[in-house]
Amino acid sequence: MENITIAIDGFSSTGKSTIAKLIAKKYNYVYVDTGAMYRAVTLFAMQNNLVTIDFLKKEDLVKQLENISLEFIFNSDLGYAEMFLNGENVEKEIRTLAVSKLVSKVATISEVRKKLVLEQQRFGEKGGVVMDGRDIGTVVFPNAELKLFMTASADKRATRRYKELLDRGDKVSFDDILFNVQERDRIDSTREDSPLLKAEDAIEFDNSDMGIAEQFERMCSLVDQKIAQN
């Protein structure tokens, strides 16, 4: 029985990574959080004064791309891999609202996407991977055996993200989070290069009113079916 590739795409804060981690654990697959890669490039750009709310120095960032090394290093205490940018653990910094506010802008740059997509394809060469993002089923792995597409209302998503950030001790306002969720939806869905789209053969999950346990159960039966067919 061959390992399959599972592509999970969808809007921000739809719980893609929570589900992807659970699936990876159950099937002993590798989980790749591609959003973390775009976030790490964004953090690099922020640290080098190449992006703010007011500007994006696209050419300068593109020139610096060869100086950006991204690595996922598995943390057995946490049970998932953390993101390292040029050898430094940046897992916490990349999850801040400051990075969320700029990441969609950086993710519009085709040269950034090209670099990250190649790295993502390498991670998935042998199958046995669960990858989440915006363009996994459409661009990174158009032949993935199983494609899932997750949606939920903006209000529900903002509420979840708001609680997450408050639990971590970040001081944020709900309105700011809701605006960020809606703004990222808009930029991610309308960009020219690899916009967020549901692949034709993706199975949609609207989890506005569906709990994790129910989604997980339904998805596992899809995974089992695909593994059996493979």
- The residues that touch ligand DC, with contacts defined as CB under 6 A, are 12, 34-35, 38-39, 103-104, 107, 133-135, 184, 188
CB of 158 to ligand DC, least distance (A): 13
Region of 181 (left: φ > 0; alpha: ψ -120 to 50; beta: rest) is alpha
CB of 228 to ligand DC, least distance (A): 28
Contact by Cβ (8 Å): 215, 206: no
CB of 193 to ligand DC, least distance (A): 9
Closest to ligand DC by CB, 91 or 188: 188
CB neighbours of 75 closer than 8 A, spacing ≥ 6? 81, 82
Contact by Cβ (8 Å): 18, 157: no
Q: Which amino acid is at 47?
A: Q
CB of 82 to ligand DC, least distance (A): 14
Closest to ligand DC by CB, 29 or 38: 38
Q: Helices (DSSP H) in 107-173: which residue ranges?
A: 110-123, 154-167
Closest to ligand DC by CB, 117 or 219: 117
CB of 222 to ligand DC, least distance (A): 21
Dihedral of alpha carbons 91, 139, 22, 169, sign: positive
18-33 burial by CB neighbour count: b if 16+ within 10 A, else e? ebbbbbbeebebbbbb
Closest to ligand DC by CB, 56 or 227: 56
Closest to ligand DC by CB, 170 or 217: 170
CB neighbours of 229 closer than 8 A, spacing ≥ 6? 145
